[in-house]
Structure 1
Amino acid sequence: MMSTAQLSSIQKSTSQHVQFSATDGYTLAGIQYTPALPIKAQIVVSSATGVPQQFYRRFAEYAAALGYQVLTFDYRGIGQSAPQHLKGFEMSYLDWGKFDLSGAIEFVQHAGLKTFVVGHSYGGQALGLTSNHQRVRAMYCFGTGAGWHGYMPFKEKMKVHVMWNIVFPPIVAVKGYLPWSKLNMGADLPVDVYKQWRRWCKNPTYFFADPDQPELKTLYAQVKTPIYAVAALDDDWALPNSRHAFMQHYRQAPMHYQNIEAQNYGLKSIGHMGYFRQGAEPIWDEVLMTFDRYIADET
């Protein structure tokens, strides 16, 4: 792992706010991090539910300093891609993958440059919803699981049960959206995202059991992109059993499972968010070295 000072001595990178269209025409806000040296490849960061793109800034700057052009972006209804008033904003939770991530993958296409995806939680789910997953050479995802409380340790299971069934419903009924920011849990969520997420998390097979979404198993089975699915053993939201319950639906994708422990990376904890916090550079090194190998093998 290199320090920030060492990275700065290698090359400078620049960041630029950009706007691009989702594949259904919705305008999304992003930030593109560009290295000073020739670009190795493109990385699209696919965010977790309700996590604004700025959370991934450190990773993006780190990867850009090592030659990757990185795009972070906010899904519709989130952060800089949200409407002025979230109440009354209609969308499907699936739109983030189906239209938004598809649009981001399309936006970064440049002649001769490979595209990789780094997904966090929902971001690892989203690839199977895209219309252009065949453009992605490989995906690394962290904390991607099925969301069912039954996969969680008892204490976390009880906490999630209280939030879904006691805390959130009356707040959403009054506000017309889930004011996550007021609870210090992330960006506010559109009501449709909240409702679908709550319903799907009640089933061990998540949205694959939704009778209104019969096409999802077929869509995910079409993905052939190599996937590296990482689960921290202290990530109560997406432990290995939860990860497998979801990732098994990428039936044709070459799958690489990795379980990690915080102490092996010089960290006190990782949890569900620590994959992208300061100090996680040794984890990022593994991601970028893997992508480097794909580039080297095909040049």
Structure 2
Amino acid sequence: MTGRPLTVRCEDGYELRGHIWEPCSLHGQLSGRTVVVVVGATGVLASYYHRYASFLADNGFAAITFDYRGIGQSREANIRNLQASWYDWALKDIDAVLHWAIDNVSQDLHVVGHSFGGFGVGLAKHGQQVKRLLTVGAQHAHWRDYRAGHRLHYWWRWHLLMPAITLWHGYFPGKSLGWLEDLPKGVALNWARSPKDFSAGAGPMRKVVKEHQTSFTAATLAVSATDDPFASENAIRRGLKHYPNSPAIVVQLKPHDLNSPGIGHFALFHSRFQGTFWPGTLQWLRDGTNPWA
């Protein structure tokens, strides 16, 4: 099932590219139905989530995917000149897509957020209209929260080597390194600094970010895998504590729970989990039932 191309214009004029999948039963008439916005991880193309979005549409949801500014189909020609940070991705990009979904599809809005996407949705103004949130490995890269045995390796890669390469090139050339997609300078440096209070905002943004976090009330199911080196239980709870009015359930899945030899940080949106993890997400999105209680 192929999604329909979508263009969303942000408040500052930047245009994001994405896709929308329409439930077959609606024949293109989307009003009155639930829409699920899939908000991706840092450095991961929206196309990675297309199979999952198609699965959601096959099960009655309208589903939207999109690339952040500077990534994939939303990338401008010269990424070195792009002023973009994690704050821009959340306050401008995620917010614009949520707003578009509410205005053009349905006010019955749910979100599936992967890694930073699961944390960033709460920074967006229109996050207050999200009714149900499913996060997968959601955290904001605080290195002390990496699982034991991984901290030194990833501290060296993401918090020492990445900022040095970024400052040299003017952006992070992740694709040529075979690590992930290229990243705008501001995003890469946000990741590298990963301050414990990142979510509290910086400078004049502090008050705005705090207001958005406080107004975020979506019921949240926060899922991660026990073999995910980034999203430890500490990492997930550190992120959730910034959303005091969002009732949250934390679930740690073991690989054998899903009949898999391994899961890690990225695999749950791969089609090999279509018969195990994906159906469970439907239970949460439809009626707020935790399938892994």
TM-score scaled by length of structure 1: 0.87
Candidates 130, 134, 157, aligned match of 1:140:
134
| Residues 85 and 184, structure 2, Cα contact 8 Å, conserved in 1 | no
Candidates 224, 227, 230, aligned match of 1:237:
230
Per the alignment, residue 206 of structure 2 pairs with: 214
Per the alignment, residue 82 of structure 1 pairs with: 75
Cα deviation for residue 154 of structure 1 reads 3.7
Per the alignment, residue 119 of structure 1 pairs with: 113
Cα deviation for residue 29 of structure 1 reads 0.2
Candidates 196, 203, 206, aligned match of 2:190:
196
| Residues 10 and 93, structure 2, Cα contact 8 Å, conserved in 1 | yes
Mind listing any 5+ residue stretches in structure 1 that lack a counterpart? 1-12
The total of aligned residue pairs comes to: 281
- SS of the residue 1:99 aligns to: helix
- Please tell me the residue identity of whatever aligns with 2:67: D
Deviations 1:28-54 (A, max 9, x none): 000111222125421100011111101
- SS of the residue 2:25 aligns to: coil
Deviations 1:50-106 (A, max 9, x none): 111011011111111111111100011111101101112112221111111111112
Per the alignment, residue 7 of structure 2 pairs with: 19
Partners of 2:199 and 2:220 lie apart in 1 by 20
Partners of 1:246 and 1:165 lie apart in 2 by 19
Candidates 87, 90, 98, aligned match of 2:91:
98
Partners of 1:14 and 1:165 lie apart in 2 by 38
Mind listing any 5+ residue stretches in structure 2 that lack a counterpart? none
Candidates 61, 65, 70, aligned match of 2:63:
70
For the pair 1:271 / 2:248, whether they are aligned, the reply is no
Deviations 1:195-248 (A, max 9, x none): 22212x2x3444438567532344312211111111211111011111001111
CA 1:26–1:204: 2 relative to 1, 3 Å: same
CA 1:258–1:294: 2 relative to 1, 3 Å: closer
CA 1:218–1:270: 2 relative to 1, 3 Å: same
Candidates 45, 49, 56, aligned match of 1:52:
45
Candidates 249, 253, 260, aligned match of 2:246:
253
Partners of 2:199 and 2:284 lie apart in 1 by 30
For the pair 1:291 / 2:285, whether they are aligned, the reply is yes
- Please tell me the residue identity of whatever aligns with 2:186: D
- SS of the residue 1:138 aligns to: strand
Partners of 1:106 and 1:167 lie apart in 2 by 37
Partners of 1:18 and 1:111 lie apart in 2 by 12
CA 1:23–1:212: 2 relative to 1, 3 Å: closer
Candidates 16, 23, 33, aligned match of 2:21:
33
| Residues 221 and 252, structure 1, Cα contact 8 Å, conserved in 2 | yes
Cα deviation for residue 118 of structure 1 reads 0.4
CA 1:111–1:191: 2 relative to 1, 3 Å: closer
TM-score scaled by length of structure 2: 0.89
- Please tell me the residue identity of whatever aligns with 2:79: L
Q: Name the stretch that deviates more: 279-288 or 75-84.
A: 279-288
CA 1:112–1:26: 2 relative to 1, 3 Å: closer
